[in-house]
Chain A
Amino acid sequence: MEARKDFFLKKQKRAGEKEHWNLIQKTNDDLLSPMFETGRSYYVVVAVLSLLVLAAAGAWTYQIKTGIGQSGLHPPIFWGVYIASFVFWVGVSHSGTFISGVLRISKAEWRRPITRIAELMTLFSIMVAALFIFVHLGRVWRFYYLIPYPNQRQIWPNFRSPLMWDAAAIFTYATSSLIYLYLPLIPDFALMRERVTGWRRPLYRVLALGWRGTQTEWRWLGMAMRIITILIVMVMISVHSIVGFDFAVSLVPGWHSTIIPPYFVVGAIHSGMATVVMGLYFVRKIYRLDGYIRLEHFDKMGKLMLLITLLWSYFYFVERQVVWYGKIPDEMTVLDSILYGPYAPQHWAMIAFNSVIPLIALSIPRFRRWPLGLMIVGILINIAMYIERILIIVPSLGHPRLPYAWGRYFPSWVELTILVGSFSFFLLLYVLAIKFVPMIAIWEEKEGILHGRYEER
């Protein structure tokens, strides 16, 4: 016990060495600077994104006013872009929990500059995803019928419906990802509380919970973080499995498959990692954080992405192979329309973007140390993952068992506006967050300095 005490005191001594002390000061200044320096282009970006969000809000209002028929949906395709977007955004939300959670559990030192960027993504994308549930409802003004609370209407939700499992999972996940983002922010709020002026100061004062940096506080924080990290990774796996259940437990040919839930989890992590790489690239580029988000981080992200690409390709192959070999007519019509039929161009683009290009590119060590390249791969993967969600939903629904009812689907302008608006909303929240929280956890970065990361370099 005493020896351990001394070991950790040594860490404190290291902080006293001039080099480290300077680094700590520099870390404070560097990581806080994005919050204080606001250029003109920032306002332009916020204005443009706000306009796009407003356009989407207008389109949604129009849809509520006139009816959900403003979408391109019709029997037999009752779900379209809205549900695809919901699944997509839930997928993106796996970025934070997977990256930050798994890396925290494994105590990977290189996680430090990545966790905050990823956790913010989790929170914002799960918010956007939850919004799509409401956009999708035929009578959104009756959404409270889905909430289990005692009422006079004698209405109670049906927990046998996968959609209720979904609601429970999304609620749990959104709540815990907010907590998971907030916990490691507390020391940073305390730091900022002393350094900001104006309206942000009282806000941080509340959010910092009177943090004083005592060892007791650190201990509680550390304990809570360790426990919640493990739990939230378990929640993450369940959330996308349950989104997968929405499809897998139905009778629709092309959906009814046991591999769908795990396949969804892998796909979600795939798009989540891709989004994190994009975020890393832009945060580093715009705020010149090259000293914090370094090439080694891109290299390691690239390796993880390679692993997930392989996993995704494997799951995808298994799913298609089983259907193709089994040759059940109902399933085959769906598969044929994807492989050779009207959906073939999208499908093969998806295979290229999601599997072939990332596999080749990420296998090259020099490519993984090229941030721009990784960012482009990230964009390709995200495009492909969106196509994948559409390809799961539309061709399957478009080919029900009675051929008389077959149909095609193309989204209407309302759906497309809301889709663009959802991306803008996500970006807008993110851009606004840059002025509100440090993009890299300052105390974790400082802890990294004391762990001797800089000496190893």
Chain B
Amino acid sequence: MVEYRDQNAPPGGPYRWGMVIDLDRCTGCEACVVACHAENNIRISGEEEASKGRAVNWIRIERYWEGEYPNAQVKFMPVLCQHCGSAPCEPVCPVYASYHTPDGLNAQVYNRCVGVRYCGNNCPYTVRYFNWFEPHWDEPLNEQLNPDVTVRSVGVMEKCTFCVQRIRGAQQTAQKEGRRVKDGEVTPACVQSCPTEALVFGDRNDPNSRVSRLSKDDRGFGLLEELGTEPSITYLKRIK
């Protein structure tokens, strides 16, 4: 009934940010996890909290085994916020802390969040993380916080943003120059650090971007896409 108007829409229609994760390339090295921690001011959970299952990893490497030792085969799957087109976490938020941006991001407004945690329950991927305590960083990590990223306080939900600070930076540059953001101009920290280039990021509305081309690969699938969540991330996996 009501269309959302985006005043800052770029020439040629809005962006739709998306990612492709090639599971056949992923080695499970966890470089993306480390990069994400450094980029996004992710708090240090500590041993005790981590053992309670409260470690925060906006991107995590899920390990699955096939077969028994010694013939076990380990499989890795990086899981991060899928930035669903029809996100289950969004409508359940009573204060609009979780909402959908016009460029297809599943945004989390920390200031608004009151911490009812319904979004965390309703996320089928369990990629939402909660700040159970006031965040802290051991010395000297507190000296290297990223000034572009908010430090989240106690009692709010947080999750992967697709490094929205980088996206917005590139968008503003492009807007000033009166053009669209070029393919490859924006790379989230995890994509940037992936040594095997298993992760690719870009605009799905641009048919010539790497993401658009790769996601048409016949190896592609969406994680739990049968739920109708319309995830923005396409996984690639060869079926043996």
| A contacts B: CB pair < 8 Å | yes
On A, residues with C-beta under 8 Å from B are 66-69, 72-76, 78-79, 136-140, 142-143, 145-146, 155-158, 160-164, 167, 246, 249-252, 397, 400-402, 404-405, 407
Q: How far is the CB of B45 from chain A (nearest CB, A)?
A: 10
Instruction: Give the secondary structure class of A's interface.
Output: loop
Could you say which of B54, B63, B133, B134 contacts A75, with CB atoms under 8 Å apart? Answer: B54
Of the candidates B64, B91, B112, the one whose C-beta lies within 8 Å of that of A161 is B91
Inter-subunit contact A146/B92 (CB<8 Å) = no
Between A139, A164, A249, the greatest number of chain B beta carbons within 10 A of the residue's beta carbon is seen for A139
Q: Is B114 among interface residues, defined by CB-CB distance under 8 A? A: yes
A74 and B155 form a contact (CB under 8 A): no
By a CB distance below 8 angstroms, the chain B residues around A74 are 52-54, 132
Q: What range describes how many residues of B lie at the interface?
A: 35 or more
Query: Which residues of A are found within 8 Å of B94, using beta-carbon distances?
Result: 146, 157-158, 161, 163-164, 167
Complexed CA–CA distance, A146 and B60 (Å): 32
How would you classify the secondary structure of chain B's contact residues: helix, strand, loop or mixed?
loop
Give the distance in Å from the alpha carbon of A29 to the alpha carbon of B91 in the complex. 57
Determine the chain B residues whose CB is within 8 A of the CB of A78 once the complex forms: 117-118, 120-121, 130
Interface string of B110-141 (1 = CB under 8 A from A): 00111111101110111011111110000000
B49 contacts A by Cβ under 8 Å: yes
Asked whether B88 is an interface residue with its Cβ less than 8 Å from the other chain, the reply is yes
Question: Any chain A CB within 8 A of the CB of B156?
Answer: yes
In the complex, the chain A residue whose C-beta lies closest to that of B134 is A67
Residues of chain A within 8 A (CB-CB) of B134 are 67
B residues sitting closer than 8 Å to A (CB atoms) are: 49, 52-54, 60, 62-64, 79, 88, 91-96, 112-118, 120-122, 124-126, 128-134, 153-157, 223-224, 227
Closest Cβ neighbor of B223 among chain A residues: A402
Q: Are B121 and A67 in contact (CB under 8 A)?
A: no
Closest chain-B Cβ to A246's Cβ sits at a distance in Å of 8
Residue of A whose beta carbon sits closest to that of B154? A67
Q: Which of A73, A137, A402 contacts B79 (CB 8 A)?
A: A402
User: Sorted from nearest, which 9 A-B pairs have the closest CB atoms?
Assistant: A138-B115, A69-B132, A138-B155, A139-B155, A405-B126, A78-B117, A67-B133, A78-B120, A404-B62
Asked if A138 contacts B113 (CB within 8 A), the reply is yes
Q: Nearest Cβ distance between residue B227 and chain A, in whole angstroms?
A: 6
Cβ contacts under 8 Å, A163 to chain B: 92, 94, 116, 118
- Contact call B129/A75, Cβ cutoff below 8 A: yes
CA distance A69 to B130 in the complex (A): 9
Taking CB atoms, residues of chain B closer than 8 Å to A146 are 94-95, 114
Task: Give, as a whole number of angstroms, the nearest-CB distance from A328 to chain B.
Answer: 11
Chain A residue, CB-CB nearest to B135: A67
* A220 to B79 CA separation, bound complex (whole angstroms): 64
Q: CB-nearest residue of chain A relative to B117?
A: A78
B64/A138 in contact, CB under 8 A:
no
Q: Could you list 15 further interchain pairs (A-B, Cβ under 8 angstroms) beyond the known A73-B130, A75-B129, A78-B130?
A: A68-B115, A74-B132, A76-B121, A78-B118, A138-B115, A138-B154, A139-B115, A160-B91, A163-B92, A164-B94, A250-B118, A250-B121, A252-B121, A404-B64, A405-B126
Contact partners of A404 in chain B: CB under 8 A? 60, 62-64, 79
B93 adjacent to A137 (CB under 8 Å)? no
**Complex CA–CA separation, A15 to B170 (angstroms):** 88
